[in-house]
C-alpha cells in the first residue's frame, strides 16, 4: 500500500541549533495546512491542545497498520510460511528504523506497551540492595516514582528527591550535591509534562558516568519534539511512548544500553525469551532458569507476541517526523509557544507555570485563571469554545505539593501545541482564555 505522505517543508542544508538560540531565524517552515490534511480527526470546528497526553494520528500511520492486517497478518518469528516471513521482515525493518531514530542499535531496543511499562521493566530487572539510593525529582510523572516506591518497600532502597525551582529550572550544582556513594540510579524526566521545562540530560549523564551511577531518562515528552541520540547523551536507559509522537497506542520503547541488555535478567519471561534448543533440559519442569540460554538480543526481552501492527505504525510515525525534520518541529513549537506565552501574559488574572522564555521549554503551556478550579476552566474551554486541554495535577502531584508547596494541590490547566496546530488556533485559544478571565474575574 502506498503511503500518502510527501515532504511538507522547504529547507536548506544548515544544521539546527536545538538549544534554541537560533530557532527564531531558522530557515525551515512547515506547510501546516498540508500536514493537517494527513490527520483525519482534525476539524475546523474544534481545537486539539492535548497532544502532550496523546497526539493525533496521521494517515501514513493508520495505513501502515491497516496494511499489516489486510496483507500479511501473521505472527512474527514463529513460522516458515510466506505471510509470517513477510510480517517478520517488515517488523525487523520497523525495529531497526525506530532504533536509528534515537541513535541506538536494534539489539538495544525493547518493545513495551508504553513508557510506564518500560520504567517498570527497568525497576524490576535491576538488582538493588537495601540502602541503595535512587534519585528522582519532584517533576516526575507518577510512572517514574511508583516503581521506585515499591522497591523502597520491598527491597529497602532509599528514594532521594531533587527539588527544582517553581519554574522548573534545573540547578546542576544543587543536583550534584545529592549524589552520594550510595546512589545507584538517577531516574529523571527529559521534559516536564507539567511545565515543559527541559533537563540538561547530557550534563546529568556526565555526572553519572563519572560516579558509575546508572542513568534512566523518561523521554515521553521529548521524543515527539526534540532530536534524541542516546549515544551522544550517554544514558543507560531511555523510555518513550508511541501515542505521544503520532504513533498508535499500546506501544512504547525502552532503550537499554547493550551491556545491560546482555547482562540483566528480564522482568518478564515467556515464549521467545529462552533459546530452548540450546538448553540441556528435556522439560521446563526440570529446568533451571539460571542454566538456560537466553535468546539473542533483542528477543531475550520480548516475551510472547509483540504488538506487531503497533510497531509498524510507530515506525511510520518515525518516518513522518523524520520527513518533516526536527529543525522545523522545534522552530514551529517555539513560534507557537512564543505567541501563546505573550498572549497569556497580557491577560489580567493569569498565573503561568514554567519558564518564561520559549527556548527554555517544550510546547507545554500550563496556567490558572485566578482562583478558578482548573477542571472548571477545562470544562468551559470544551463546552463553550470546543478547545481540548487537560486540567488537573497531570500525575505529577509532587510538583504541586513539594515545589508549589500547596497542601491540597489543585493542579493547573495544560495546553500543548504540536506540528498540526496553527497560529489561528493559538489566537482562538487566547481569545477564549481572555473571555473566561474577563467573565469570571470581573
The question of whether 235 is a catalytic residue gets the answer no
Mean pLDDT over the full length of the chain:
89
C-alpha cell at 401: 505539593
Low-confidence ranges of the chain (pLDDT < 50): 1-27
| Separation between Cα atoms, residue 27 and residue 413, nearest integer Å | 33
279, 292, 395, 440: the catalytic one is 395
**pLDDT of the residue at 356:** 86
Backbone angles phi, psi at 47, to 5 degrees: -125, 125
Task: Look up the pTM and report it.
Answer: 0.89
Domains of the chain: 68-320 (3.40.640.10), 327-441 (3.90.1150.10)
Amino acid at each position: 500500500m502506498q503511503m500518502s505522505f510527501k515532504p511538507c517543508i522547504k529547507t536548506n542544508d544548515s544544521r539546527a541549533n536545538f538549544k534554541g538560540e537560533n530557532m527564531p531565524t531558522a530557515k525551515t517552515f512547515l506547510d501546516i495546512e498540508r500536514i493537517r490534511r494527513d490527520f483525519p480527526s482534525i476539524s475546523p470546528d474544534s481545537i486539539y491542545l492535548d497532544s502532550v497526553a496523546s497526539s493525533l494520528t496521521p494517515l501514513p500511520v493508520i495505513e501502515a497498520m491497516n496494511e499489516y492486517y489486510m496483507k500479511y497478518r501473521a505472527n512474527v518469528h514463529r513460522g516458515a510460511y510466506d505471510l509470517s516471513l513477510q510480517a517478520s521482515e517488515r517488523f525487523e525493518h520497523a525495529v531497526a528504523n525506530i532504533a536509528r531514530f534515537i541513535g541506538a542499535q536494534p539489539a538495544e531496543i525493547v518493545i513495551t506497551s508504553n513508557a510506564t511499562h518500560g520504567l517498570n521493566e527497568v525497576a524490576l530487572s535491576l538488582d538493588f540492595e537495601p540502602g541503595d539510593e535512587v534519585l528522582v525529582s519532584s517533576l516526575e510523572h507518577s510512572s517514574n516514582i511508583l516503581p521506585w516506591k515499591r522497591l523502597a518497600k520491598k527491597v529497602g532502597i532509599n528514594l532521594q528527591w531533587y527539588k527544582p525551582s517553581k519554574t522548573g529550572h534545573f540547578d546542576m550544582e544543587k543536583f550534584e550535591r545529592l549524589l552520594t556513594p550510595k546512589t545507584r540510579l538517577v531516574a529523571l524526566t527529559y521534559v516536564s509534562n507539567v511545565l515543559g521545562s527541559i533537563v540538561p540530560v547530557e550534563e546529568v549523564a556526565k555526572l553519572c558516568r563519572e560516579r558509575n551511577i546508572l542513568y534512566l531518562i523518561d523521554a515521553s515528552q521529548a521524543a515527539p519534539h526534540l532530536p534524541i541520540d542516546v549515544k551522544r547523551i550517554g544514558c543507560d536507559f531511555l523510555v518513550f511512548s508511541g501515542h505521544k509522537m503520532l504513533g498508535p497506542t499500546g506501544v512504547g520503547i525502552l532503550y537499554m544500553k547493550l551491556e545491560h541488555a546482555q547482562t540483566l535478567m528480564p522482568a518478564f519471561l515467556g515464549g521467545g525469551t529462552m533459546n530452548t534448543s540450546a538448553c540441556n533440559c528435556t522439560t521446563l519442569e526440570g529446568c533451571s532458569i539460571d542454566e538456560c540460554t537466553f535468546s539473542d538480543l533483542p528477543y531475550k526481552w520480548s516475551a510472547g507476541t509483540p504488538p506487531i501492527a503497533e510497531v509498524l505504525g510507530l515506525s511510520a510515525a518515525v518516518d513522518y517526523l523524520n520527513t518533516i525534520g526536527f529543525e522545523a518541529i522545534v522552530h514551529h513549537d517555539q513560534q507557537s509557544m512564543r505567541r501563546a506565552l505573550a498572549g497569556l501574559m497580557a491577560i489580567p488574572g493569569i498565573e503561568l507555570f514554567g519558564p518564561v522564555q520559549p527556548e527554555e521549554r517544550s510546547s507545554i503551556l500550563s496556567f490558572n485563571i485566578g482562583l478558578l478550579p482548573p477542571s472548571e476552566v477545562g470544562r468551559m474551554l470544551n463546552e463553550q469554545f470546543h478547545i481540548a486541554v487537560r486540567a488537573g495535577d497531570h500525575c505529577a502531584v509532587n510538583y504541586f505539593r513539594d515545589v508549589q508547596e500547596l497542601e491540597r494541590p489543585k493542579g493547573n490547566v495544560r495546553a500543548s501545541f504540536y506540528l498540526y496546530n496553527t497560529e489561528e488556533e493559538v489566537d482562538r485559544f487566547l481569545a477564549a482564555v481572555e473571555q473566561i478571565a474577563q467573565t469570571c474575574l470581573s
